[in-house]
Structure 1
Amino acid sequence: MNNIPIGLADWFINRMEKIQLLNYTEGMEIPSNITEEWDRNIPLEGEDNPTYSAEPEYVEVAPLLKTQWGQGNGYNNYSPEFNCSGEFKKAPTGCVATAVAQVMKYYEFPNSYQWQIMPNRVFNSNSQEANEVSRLMRDIGTYVEMDYSCDESGAKTSKVVGVLKNIFGYASSVSSIDYNHDILASELKNNRPVILSGKHSKKKTGSWIFEKTTYGEGHAWVCDGFKETIYRTVHDYGTPYERIVSTPGGKFFHMNWGWSGIGNEADINNNGWFRYDNFEIREVFGNDGNNLNFQYKKQMIIGIKP
């Protein structure tokens, strides 16, 4: 008691005197409301913080895109002609152009294109419908400064933000950020498809301070769906301390790879659901012989809306 402040010591002494007075006063009873409060907070014999599993919560945003567009015949009618192999002898549209085109078709904006005649998938490459899709993709390719070639056509996704806002009149909210699955889920819950990009391969050269890391085999595509199971556990059930603890289960995203729905060099539909931290695409191989997995340098373009 020597180190306790005088005011606090007086309070303790006063409390002790009152407790003793209550103990030795005949006929003194504990008020009923106090007794009930103790009864509610003391678990019954054999019970210790009872818990149970509540019904899980399912969250899902079904795939937003209707289109399954690609880069080849029927989509590249207006691409540069390099006498490439294939019916039209033309370069592919490029994954960046195809990804952007599918998002623009989702919004059907701006009104300078005949959106209503564009099919969800091109089957007749010589049709007016195919030409309109191809015109859209060539315009995008021009504005993002697409580097066309027979094997592949490439462009920097960093140019997409400015093109959408300054050329096609999309909202100022369009921006590019590093991959974040929580933000991605939020965009999709607001019915906004997101353009993703990443690299498949990683290579280190040199050593020590001269070590250099390069990334290759890049791709851009559209993420247009989200689903997650949230498991819930009720703790201290039936007590004033009852609380629900939510534990997220697996988080999955729906990817539209921009390969006409049949995969890249594979006769299977690779559009589908992928775990948030694993984009590995079965039966589609990179230069290293492994399944493609655009796991490096992942970025996303968010806030896309007219």
Structure 2
Amino acid sequence: MMKRLLLAIFVICITTLIWAEPISREQALRQAQQFFLQKGKSKALTQAETSMSKARARGKQIPDYYYVFNVGQNEGFVIVSGDDRAETVLGYSDKGSFDADQIPSNMAAWLKGYESQIKALTENDISVVKKNISKAYPSVAPIVQVHWDQNSPYNKYCKLDLPNIHIQAPTGCVATAMAQAMSVYRYPSATTAEIPEYEVNFGADGIAYYDAIPANTPIDWDNLDVVNYNGREDDIKKEAIAKLMSYCGRSVGMIYNGGGSEAPISDVAYALKTYFGYGKQTAYKRRDWSSDKDWNLMIYNEVAAGRPVIYGGQTDESDYSEGHAFIIDGYDSGTDAFHVNWGWGQLHVSPDGYFKLSALDPPLEGTGGSSGAYSFDQEAVIGIDSESTGEVEVVKAVVVGALFNEDGMGVNTAIKNDIMEKEYTRNSNGYVRLSLYFQFQNHLANYYSFDFGMGLHKDGSLVGEIISVGTRYDLDNIITYTTGYSSYGFGYKLENGSYELKAYSKEVGSSDDNWMLCEDADKQTVYLEVTDNTIKFSKKSSSQKEGDANGDGDVNAADVVFVIEAIGKADDSNKAADVNGDGKIDVADVVYIITRIE
């Protein structure tokens, strides 16, 4: 009975697979009109120019990956997808208007990300499973009440001074996002630690020097009560905002320049905690560290708790260094979209509104940022609160890879070959030598020095002592540390049976009592099958049932859903969904699971 039901469900799901079907301007206009009618607006819509229409005007052949329509006179706009496999409405606002020539660079980068994702559908001939999922989250009104900007008067102290170059630079969207987040709490009253001096080398043009900002430097919140500066404020209020923007920028080592000031979002959490006294739970996160469902829920939980999120999104590696940042501070349950404050003070063309975190539902694998032409890096600073929430930061590394290798094989070759299992013959003492690379990252907001190790488990308990595999001092955020080429002895007095090899870490200098299983240790487990004569190492447990795609120990409807969601993805990162081992994730894998459900 269960098999019949699942087959029926599967037939329904597979009929919702959507293949390429571009949306015309007329279709998009009707969708936009319907959207605004549902919101009680019936005024005429006018199509706005986009980067794509402007490119065509220059003679380039480029399709409309999305359309933008303005409603009335500065009464809002809506962004409609140009491909029916993507979300229909990508973003909207109930006020202002859209002008491609005036939107801020962070919004332009975000829209470029939408474009890249939708473009990937066509270039990779991807089919998408359209899901109708009711959104259970209640709406959250925007938290941030200010609309601050990057230019005058905000940037008075944001300068690039070189021997022959003197520029009044913008504050940088990272600094503006930080200042707007801090405005929610009007905290701190003064810097809590010295912001160190730094320098930026511009090569032949010279070196720019920035002095330290002392601890206890006041922040004048009494005069930071302007929602949007227009230049007519008194000098005291202008001075207050200019200083705050400078402190924020300098705290993350802002590189000031006329074309745009840059700083990495990955440094923001450390700066907020160290120089401005924000809670210990303030943390940096990347979308590719978690599932799409968990990521969206994490962002929602932040705004539902009244905490603004400093968010970033880019379209390629060159953009990553620019650190495009903005604020997410609300949620609309009707459209499953998050409210974005772009840090753009021109309210008459304000692009603030509600936007999807991805153009695709479900997003392509790689939405988090590692899949080539359609990568769309997303990162966030969460837990921003003037008080600690009681959460204690646990200092442990994340294991991101366990790679078998042959003698002398370099790590890049090991990654490329991706050997899934190795079997060795035990010597007279029962030993074998395993060659293995481990890869670790630091996902904390500070630099940490780690000892790395691995431990053998049987029936959930550690067997013997932790084996050291390497040490890394001052490991920065999201930098991958790969252990050096080594081989490790296993098997002496080891009884026959099934074992698991898991990654551990501890802070350098701490006792052996501080060894902890790494974050994601279960995802990078190496499984051992020990017999009298051999030890077989594998990345897949021999006890895992055939058809158990999600690895939860059972073969059931959850595995069917797991595979259906993986169908049509453009890379092979989700190999677990290929349950029949034919190198493809398709209908055959679903049937394979259903026939094995008891």
Alignment partner, residue 243 of structure 1:
none
Cα distance in structure 1, aligned partners of 2:342 and 2:239: 21
Q: CA deviation at 1:127?
A: 2.5
SS of corresponding position for 2:310: strand
1:143 paired residue among 241, 251, 254? 251
1:116 aligns with 2:222: yes
Alignment partner, residue 179 of structure 2:
101
Contact 1:251–1:276 (CA under 8 A) maintained in structure 2:
no
2:306 paired residue among 167, 188, 191? 191
Higher relative contact order (CA 8 A, sep 6+): 1
Q: How many residue pairs were aligned? A: 200
SS of corresponding position for 1:96: helix
2:151 paired residue among 58, 72, 79? 72
Q: CA deviation at 1:185?
A: 0.3
Q: CA deviation at 1:261?
A: 4.5
Contact 1:201–1:217 (CA under 8 A) maintained in structure 2:
no
Cα distance in structure 1, aligned partners of 2:323 and 2:250: 19
Contact 2:263–2:322 (CA under 8 A) maintained in structure 1:
no
Q: CA deviation at 1:82?
A: 5.5
2:342 paired residue among 228, 234, 257? 257
Q: CA deviation at 1:194?
A: 0.2
Q: CA deviation at 1:116?
A: 2.5
Cα distance in structure 2, aligned partners of 1:82 and 1:57: 52
Q: CA deviation at 1:101?
A: 0.5
Q: TM-score, normalised by structure 1?
A: 0.60
Q: In structure 2, what residue type is equivalent to 1:145?
A: G
Highest Rg: 1 or 2? Answer: 1
Mapping of 1:1-306 within 5 angstroms? 59-80=138-159, 90-112=168-190, 113-118=219-224, 119-124=226-231, 127-179=235-287, 180-201=295-316, 218-229=323-334, 250-262=335-347, 268-278=349-359, 296-306=376-386
Cα distance in structure 2, aligned partners of 1:105 and 1:295: 32
Cα distance in structure 2, aligned partners of 1:71 and 1:275: 24
Task: Quickly say closer, same or farther: Cα 1:60–1:147, change in 2 above 3 A.
Answer: same
Q: CA deviation at 1:200?
A: 3.1
Q: In structure 1, what residue type is equivalent to 2:352?
A: N
Q: CA deviation at 1:217?
A: 6.0
Contact 2:252–2:267 (CA under 8 A) maintained in structure 1:
yes
Cα distance in structure 1, aligned partners of 2:274 and 2:317: 34
Task: Quickly say closer, same or farther: Cα 1:124–1:218, change in 2 above 3 A.
Answer: same
Cα distance in structure 2, aligned partners of 1:200 and 1:218: 11
String of CA shifts for 1:39-73, please: whole Å, max 9, x gaps: xxxxxxxxxxxxxxxxx977111010111011001
Cα distance in structure 1, aligned partners of 2:359 and 2:178: 23
Alignment partner, residue 436 of structure 2:
none
Contact 2:147–2:341 (CA under 8 A) maintained in structure 1:
yes
Contact 1:81–1:91 (CA under 8 A) maintained in structure 2:
yes
Contact 1:199–1:216 (CA under 8 A) maintained in structure 2:
no
SS of corresponding position for 1:304: coil
SS of corresponding position for 1:167: helix
Contact 1:164–1:170 (CA under 8 A) maintained in structure 2:
yes
Task: Quickly say closer, same or farther: Cα 1:217–1:165, change in 2 above 3 A.
Answer: closer
Q: In structure 1, what residue type is equivalent to 2:285?
A: I
Contact 2:263–2:323 (CA under 8 A) maintained in structure 1:
no
Cα distance in structure 1, aligned partners of 2:266 and 2:136: 37
Identity fraction in percent: 32
Structure 2 regions of 5+ residues with no counterpart?
1-134, 191-218, 288-294, 361-373, 387-598
Q: In structure 1, what residue type is equivalent to 2:308?
A: P
Structure 1 regions of 5+ residues with no counterpart?
1-55, 204-213, 230-249, 280-293
Task: Quickly say closer, same or farther: Cα 1:217–1:142, change in 2 above 3 A.
Answer: closer
Cα distance in structure 2, aligned partners of 1:216 and 1:144: 13
Q: TM-score, normalised by structure 2?
A: 0.31
Q: Answer with 166-175 or 121-130: which moved more.
A: 121-130
SS of corresponding position for 1:139: helix
Alignment partner, residue 214 of structure 2:
none
Q: In structure 1, what residue type is equivalent to 2:178?
A: V
**Cα RMSD, aligned residues only:** 2.8
Q: In structure 2, what residue type is equivalent to 1:98?
A: T
Q: CA deviation at 1:215?
A: 5.3
